[in-house]
Every structure is written in C-alpha cells, then in structure tokens.
C-alpha cells in the first residue's frame, strides 16, 4: 500500500489542471471523485499505478469530506491539485482528518514542502512530520508512466445525512478569459517590458479576448504592478503549456521560457531580431509591439467584411 494518495475532483469526465502533478507527487496512487471518473481515468492513462474511482454526482466538498477522510486516513500524505475544486476540498478534508494543510506546494523533497509566497518572490520551506494534507500548484508536467497499473477500482463511499452542507450551485458560467487560470488556457498572449504602460495591457487584454486567448506577462511587468502576480508566466510564476503563445515585447529570459511548456506555435513581436524569444518563435516579427497591438485592436474592432452572398464572417 503506497503511503501517499492524490485525490482529484472530476467534473463531467474532465481532470482539473494540476492533476498529473498531484498523481506524480503521490507516486501514482490516486482516487478520482466526481462524475465521469472512468473517462477521466482513461485520460490519466499509465500515470496512475493504483487507481480508485468514486462516481458521485454534483460537487459537494462539505458532504464528501467525512467519507473521504475514512478512506484516506491510512495514507500519510493526501495530495490534491491546487485547482479551484481541490482548494475547496483540501481544507475540509484536513479538518476532518485533524491534519495540517500545506497549500500551494511548488516542490517537495524528503519531508520538506516548499511553498511560494509574495507572488513567487519568496520560497518558504515547510518541514513536515507526520500525516498531512497538501495541495500542489497546478503546472503542466510530463506524466510518469507506470507499466503495471491496476486499472480503476470502483469504491462506493457513503454520504451521511445531517453532516456538513454545501453551497447550492445556481448556474455554471463559461470561464472569463481575462481571469481564467493561465494553466488551462489553450491560447495565451504575453506582454513584456517592451510594452509602454498599463494602458497597453488593457488594449492587449481586448485583443486577447477577441482571439479567445488569456493574457499573461513577464516578471518585469508584474513587478511594476501593471498586472497581478498570478498573471506572471515563468519559473516563479505560473508554468503553462498552451497550444499558441503570442509574445509581445518579451526578450525570452530563461526564467520566463522555462515556464512556457511546449507550445505548438509561438509568435514573437520584438524590435530586437536576435533575442531568445525571437529564436524560439515559429513566426518572428520585427516590429514595434505597441503599434502592432494598436493595429490588431483596430482590425479586430472592424466589422467583418460581407462575402458575395452578403453574409458577414
């Protein structure tokens, strides 16, 4: 029996960001909870060695905590992705188990959990003795493969009546791209010190919204306070893995690019043709990034031209 277990909340068969990292941190042992757990288990594939699934409808962290605590108390470390659902369930589980909770772990090693503070500018080591619950920062990772996985084993945990209550879900809205978790965004635009001020980031956010992208930035930008630290891409910010990355006025320092994952396509706009970001790009455009953003905003605001039938695109 492994001494660590990842608990991953699943909605409609979809694994939240950070799942693979949590499962890897638990050495491949995982319990999937929610609806569509079999489908989610298939997405985990060989990254789980010991896998349990509890198929249950609705997200009810308050009511789940007690039955889950009974199931997981034999594991010293209970690890959840730092996704919104994971962050909701983890403290309830820790309270039910009577264990400390360490939130937002970026590294773990031999009884020490490292968490980042002050927007990633400070790393704090938390020594851990005894059973604990922790959440991991959701970053994109390459999954480890376990050849001898057991396949999903169904468990049926009993929710007792009269226990903790949960908030009632009135409506689930589509994510707002400007506030969407960067890890989950398939398209990203990034702004760097080549942009001329906070107003330009408002314009860039409008462009991002029009092309279905979320907006991130470099540390120079977040340190200036032009964007919040949770929008910082890089080793001390958020580690992402989009399909498309558009970099405006970004030099491509290693602390930034190491957090980029492996985008299918990179487009870089920079006045310096030989900087690392331009070398990494599939399309490198030597131009003023501020003028380019202004022009993109103008073009995207123009009404689409009518085709020969009179319909607009």
Ligand X SMILES: Cc1cc2nc3c(=O)[nH]c(=O)nc-3n(C[C@H](O)[C@H](O)[C@H](O)COP(=O)(O)OP(=O)(O)OC[C@H]3O[C@@H](n4cnc5c(N)ncnc54)[C@H](O)[C@@H]3O)c2cc1C
Residues near ligand X, by CB under 6 A: 192-194, 218-221, 232-237, 249-251, 253, 255-256, 259, 269-272, 275, 288-290
**Least distance from ligand X to the Cβ atom of residue 114, Å:** 14
Contact 41, 15 (CB under 8 A): no
The half-sphere exposure of 50 on its side-chain side, counting CA atoms within 13 A, is 12
Which CB, 18 or 234, lies closer to ligand X? 234
**Least distance from ligand X to the Cβ atom of residue 15, Å:** 25
Residue nearest to ligand X (CB): 234
Element housing 188 (H / E): strand 187-191
Which CB, 264 or 291, lies closer to ligand X? 291
C-alpha distance from residue 191 to each of 81, 154, 216 (Å):
28, 46, 7
CA–CA dist 269, 201 (Å, integer): 15
Residue spans of alpha helices (H) in the chain: 19-25, 37-44, 61-72, 84-97, 198-210, 219-223, 254-257, 276-280, 289-301
CA–CA dist 188, 166 (Å, integer): 34
Which CB, 92 or 219, lies closer to ligand X? 219
Which CB, 114 or 255, lies closer to ligand X? 255
DSSP for 144-161 reads: P--TT---EEE--PPPPT
**Least distance from ligand X to the Cβ atom of residue 125, Å:** 16
CA–CA dist 222, 256 (Å, integer): 12
Which CB, 193 or 206, lies closer to ligand X? 193
What would you report as the CA-atom Rg of the chain, rounded to the nearest whole angstrom?
Answer: 22
Which position has the token pair 């949770």? Answer: 230
**Least distance from ligand X to the Cβ atom of residue 246, Å:** 12
Which CB, 67 or 249, lies closer to ligand X? 249
State both tokens at 123.
């790393």
**Least distance from ligand X to the Cβ atom of residue 119, Å:** 10
**Least distance from ligand X to the Cβ atom of residue 249, Å:** 4
Beta bridge partners of 78: 5, 133
**Least distance from ligand X to the Cβ atom of residue 175, Å:** 23
Which position has the token pair 């992705």? Answer: 81
Q: To the nearest 10°, report the CA torsion of 84, 77, 94, 150.
A: 70
Which CB, 73 or 288, lies closer to ligand X? 288
**Least distance from ligand X to the Cβ atom of residue 236, Å:** 4
Which CB, 119 or 209, lies closer to ligand X? 119
């Amino acid at each position: 029996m492994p001494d660590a277990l990842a608990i991953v909340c699943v909605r409609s068969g979809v694994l939240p960001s950070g799942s693979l990292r949590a499962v890897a941190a638990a050495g491949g042992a995982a319990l999937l909870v929610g609806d569509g757990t079999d489908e989610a288990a298939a997405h985990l594939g060989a990254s789980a060695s010991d896998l349990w699934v509890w198929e249950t409808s609705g997200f009810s962290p308050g009511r789940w905590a007690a039955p889950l605590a009974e199931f997981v108390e034999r594991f010293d470390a209970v690890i959840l992705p730092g996704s919104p659902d994971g962050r909701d369930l983890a403290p309830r589980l820790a309270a039910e188990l009577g264990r400390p909770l360490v939130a937002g772990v970026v590294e773990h090693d031999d009884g020490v959990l490292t968490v980042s503070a002050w927007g990633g500018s400070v790393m704090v080591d938390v020594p851990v003795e005894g059973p604990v619950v922790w959440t991991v920062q959701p970053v994109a990772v390459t999954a480890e493969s376990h050849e001898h996985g057991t396949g999903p084993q169904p468990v049926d945990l009993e929710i007792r009546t009269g226990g903790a209550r949960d908030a009632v879900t009135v409506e689930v809205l589509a994510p707002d791209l400007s506030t969407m978790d960067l890890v989950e965004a398939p398209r990203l635009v990034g702004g760097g010190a080549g942009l001329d001020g906070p107003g330009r980031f408002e314009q860039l956010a409008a462009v991002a919204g029009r092309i279905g992208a979320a907006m991130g930035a470099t540390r120079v930008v977040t340190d200036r306070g032009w964007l919040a630290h949770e929008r910082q891409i890089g080793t001390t910010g958020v580690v992402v893995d989009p399909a498309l990355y558009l970099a405006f006025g970004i030099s491509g320092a290693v602390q930034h690019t190491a957090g980029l994952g492996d985008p299918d396509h990179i487009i870089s706009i920079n006045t310096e043709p030989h900087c690392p970001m331009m070398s990494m790009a599939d399309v490198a455009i030597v131009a003023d990034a501020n003028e380019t953003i202004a022009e993109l905003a103008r073009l995207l605001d123009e009404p689409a031209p009518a085709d020969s039938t009179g319909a607009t695109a």
